């Protein structure tokens, strides 16, 4: 796996959440480019404590599935250096991937809900822009 970006935010729609749940819910929105029928990383979810150890992993739920593709979550180990006050760490994580059908081109929108053990909830509205492969370079 290439370098992992530890940005965990993205926006979303919040239909039907109560005021108390909304107060602790972070809304984030982002977009990702993908190729048809290829696994594309759309999120990394982990919990690093102030002492640089791993906390409990969050609960992940597909609140609104994509119209065309599918989303899967795999477990992984994340290695990072110079993350906050941690010079080096290795912690477990969940990594979410999106895969479109081979013939699909266009935007596919999904929402992932992430619940952390401290009660914080994050809704991520992710727009996946599936584009065809560009022209191939001739040798």
Q: Tell me: the pLDDT tens digits for 89-126?
A: 999 999 999 999 999 999 999 999 999 988 999 999 99
pLDDT score recorded for residue 66: 98
pLDDT score recorded for residue 139: 62
What is the domain range of residue 60? 19-130
Is pLDDT of 24 > 60? yes
- 74: enclosing H helix or E strand: strand 70-83
CATH code, 116:
2.60.40
pLDDT score recorded for residue 129: 98
Is pLDDT of 8 > 70? no
136: in domain: no
12: in domain: no
pLDDT score recorded for residue 133: 74
Which of residues 124 and 2 earns the better pLDDT score? 124
Show the tokens assigned to 50: 């102030």
7: in domain: no
Mean pLDDT of 28-48: 96
139: in domain: no
111: in domain: yes
Q: How many domains does the chain have?
A: 1
pLDDT score recorded for residue 18: 46
138: in domain: no
54: in domain: yes
Mean pLDDT of 6-27: 48
Are 101 and 69 a contacting pair, CB within 8 Å?
A: yes
pTM: 0.78
51: in domain: yes
The rounded mean pLDDT for the chain is 84
pLDDT score recorded for residue 111: 98
Encode 21-51 in three state secondary structure: HHHCEEEEEEEEEECCCCCEEEEEECCECCC
- Put the strands of the sheet holding 86-99 in their side by side order: 40-45, 86-99, 70-83
């Amino acid at each position: 796996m290439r370098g992992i970006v530890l940005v965990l935010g993205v926006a979303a729609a919040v239909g039907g959440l109560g005021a108390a749940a909304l107060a602790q819910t972070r809304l984030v929105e982002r977009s990702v480019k993908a190729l048809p029928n290829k696994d594309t990383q759309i999120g990394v979810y982990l919990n690093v404590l102030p002492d640089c150890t791993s906390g409990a992993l969050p609960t992940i739920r597909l609140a609104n599935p994509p119209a065309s593709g599918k989303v899967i979550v795999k477990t992984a180990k994340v290695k990072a250096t110079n993350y906050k006050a941690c010079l080096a760490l290795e912690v477990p994580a969940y990594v979410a991937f999106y895969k479109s059908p081979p013939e699909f081109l266009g935007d596919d929108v999904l929402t992932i809900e992430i619940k952390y053990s401290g009660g914080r909830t994050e809704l991520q509205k992710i727009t996946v822009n599936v584009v065809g492969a560009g022209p191939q370079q001739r040798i």
